[in-house]
Structure 1
Amino acid sequence: MDLRKYIPRNFKNKLHRIILGYTGFNPCFSQGGEDMILRTIFKGVDKGFFIDVGAYHPTIGSNTYFLYRTQGWRGINIDPNTENIDLFNKKRPEDTNINIAIGKNEGSIFYYQQESPSMNFCSKEEQPLDSYKSRKSVIISPLSAILKPFCKKTIDLMTIDVEGYEFDVLTSNDWNLYRPKVIVIEQSIQDICHGTCINYLKNMGYHIFSFSTLGIHHGAIMCNLFFADLKEFPFVSQLPELETNLYNSKYITKTPLH
């Protein structure tokens, strides 16, 4: 006798959540389905290695937790918020979790906490906003300096979400030593129009192959761009340039790839 049909669906979902960490119908943890795109890209790649800059939370909105949980991936999580890193140490103890901000030079920078923790950010200015929850000074260091003692493997994935400081993170890396196969980077539509990060990564030998939409934050349309290293995925260069479509905000809000 098959008893499964008598089990309520919400009970099965709860059981999936307890055992696997996700429901059978929606295994996505990231904000805009990025981990499902990454699941497709890295299908069959077990025990991969990632770098997550601006990691924020070990599970909520994480681009890497699905790979950590289901495919045995491990990596380095970097975040300037001490409370966030404490959570990573509890929830993801097999990762290397580092409490620091990333920038071009060694020193310190102001870290601003807001009512919505996902919108916390760093700034060189003493008061960039009229109101904020709290402010403190945190240590800042180039990405290459942080990776040197910890990164001994080939980097499969690097994901960057640092609320406007993405270019500083990119330019603080040593691309000869630490070259991810795939990069996911958060950008506003204004950032995309300026093309600063896009052009930099193109010059580094990367090509955009996908994107996901995140909605509107503080009046700006946000998305995540996916870049592939052409040395690892040369066929990606044959794909059409996505920037043409990304420049049209109406298109980006109506055509999510996830």
Structure 2
Amino acid sequence: MTFISYAQNFEDVLLWRALKHVEHGFYIDVGAFDPELDSVTKAFYDRGWRGVNIEPNPQFHGRLQDRRPNDQNLCRAVGGHEGREVLCLLGNPGMSTLDEAITKQHEQSGWALTRQEVPVTTLAKIWEECVPPGQAVHFLKVDVEGLEEAVLQGNNWIDHRPWIVVVEATLPMSQTESHGKWEPILLSANYRFAYADGLNRFYVAEEHSELMPAFQYPPNVWDEFLLSGQVMAEARASEAEAKAQQAEAKAQQAEAALSAVYNSTSWRLTVPLRRIRSMFLRHCKKLI
């Protein structure tokens, strides 16, 4: 079965390569954004996986609720402690952040924004509330626009150990690497750096080091995947072709019906009457 990738940078392709042997897996997506657009978890959900999506933007949390009814969808932010903080919502919703310094940079760049107070929780709390006892978390994805360090600090890495951790590792809207602040948290928790894709960094728990070879190479032809945009474009093309074929079939049916009328006995017998009627109408027009 061809794998359909929805993620922004093929993150789901690499994760599937490492975890496709797992049936009915479980994920935690911090900064889930949209249930389909640029989603790292959509392909897994479609294949029967389930998990927890955390998205503080009410608009996108609503979309997750509608499209991911079998997931747990939390309208909260995640940080290093529980409480309430001000979320900056930008015109580009994928850039929304709790980081005031990043917010000021966006303001200086001319982005329209609104501020909204939101509840903040921690990874440790989410794990306790949402992960069933004994349930393995096969991957954790973190995309929080500058708050990666706080998110990772808020987990109990002794008791709560996802097999794979994927963290966005560049400053928002740039290629500047930002992992220097937070990578030591993972390394000291016995996670091994596995791969960098230019946007994210992948880490594998030491106790699951058998997964490391899956990250040796970037996504390639052997992964047998298609991009979701390509699949949707092909579906639209097929739909348009089907509609064109239906229209052609209806036109052929109409032509056949008309031909049957022209070839009927009644049509041939009434030819003189139609000629007389036509002559009468032309005569009437001249009189007018």
TM-score, with structure 2 as normaliser: 0.67
2:120 corresponds to which of 140, 144, 154: 140
Of 102-111 and 85-94, the range deviating more from structure 2: 102-111
1:205 equivalenced with 2:181 (yes/no): no
2:140 corresponds in structure 1 to 158
Aligned counterpart, 1:44: 21
Alignment of 1:100-139 (within 5 A): 100-124=76-100, 128=104, 129-130=107-108, 131-139=111-119
Q: Distance in 2 between matches of 1:158 and 1:121?
A: 19
Local SS of the residue matching 2:178: helix
Q: Which has the higher strand share?
A: 1
Judged with a 3 Å threshold, the aligned counterparts in structure 2 of structure 1 residues 235 and 39 are, in CA distance, closer, same or farther, namely: closer
Alignment of 1:73 with 2:60, yes or no, is no
- The 3 A distance-change label for structure 1 pair 142 and 47 is same
Q: What does 1:1-258 align with in structure 2 at a 5 Å threshold?
A: 27-70=4-47, 72-124=48-100, 128=104, 129-130=107-108, 131-152=111-132, 153-188=135-170, 189-192=176-179, 195-213=180-198, 223-233=199-209, 236=212, 257-258=218-219
Give the distance between the partners of 2:32 and 2:94, measured in 1 at CA.
Answer: 10
Task: Supply the AA of the counterpart residue of 1:162.
Answer: V
Which amino acid counterpart does residue 202 of structure 1 have in structure 2? L
CA displacement, residues 114-136 of structure 1 (integer Å, 9 cap, x when unaligned): 12111111135696234432111
SS of structure 2 residue aligned to 1:148 = helix
Structure of larger gyration radius? 2
Deviation at 1:36, TM superposition (A): 0.7
Structure with more relative contact order (C-alpha pairs < 8 Å, separation 6 or more): 2
Shift of 1:234: 5.5
Question: SS where residue 57 of structure 1 aligns?
Answer: coil
Superposition CA RMSD, Å: 2.4
Shift of 1:168: 0.5
Q: Is the 8 A contact 1:109 1:123 kept in 2?
A: no
Deviations 1:224-245 (A, max 9, x none): 11110011115749x99xxxxx
Offset at residue 257 of structure 1 (A): 2.3
User: Could you tell me how far apart the structure 2 residues matched to 1:127 and 1:212 are?
Assistant: 26
Count how many residue pairs are aligned between Structure 1 and Structure 2.
Answer: 207
Is the 2:102–2:146 contact (alpha carbons within 8 Å) kept by the matching residues of 1? no
Query: d(CA) in 1 for partners of 2:69 and 2:193?
Result: 32
> Which consecutive unaligned segments of at least 5 residues does structure 1 have?
1-19, 214-222, 241-255
Kindly indicate whether the alpha-carbon contact (under 8 Å) linking 1:53 and 1:162 is maintained by their aligned counterparts in 2. yes
Please, what TM-score do these two structures have when normalized by structure 1? 0.74
Q: Using the alignment, how far apart are the partners of 1:27 and 1:82 within structure 2? A: 27
Look up the match of 2:248: none
> Deviation per CA, 1:60-115, whole angstroms, max 9, x where unpaired?
11111111112x11000001111111111110100000010111122211111112
Q: What do residues 198-222 of structure 1 show as CA deviations (whole Å, max 9, x unaligned)?
A: 2221111111112223xxxxxxxxx
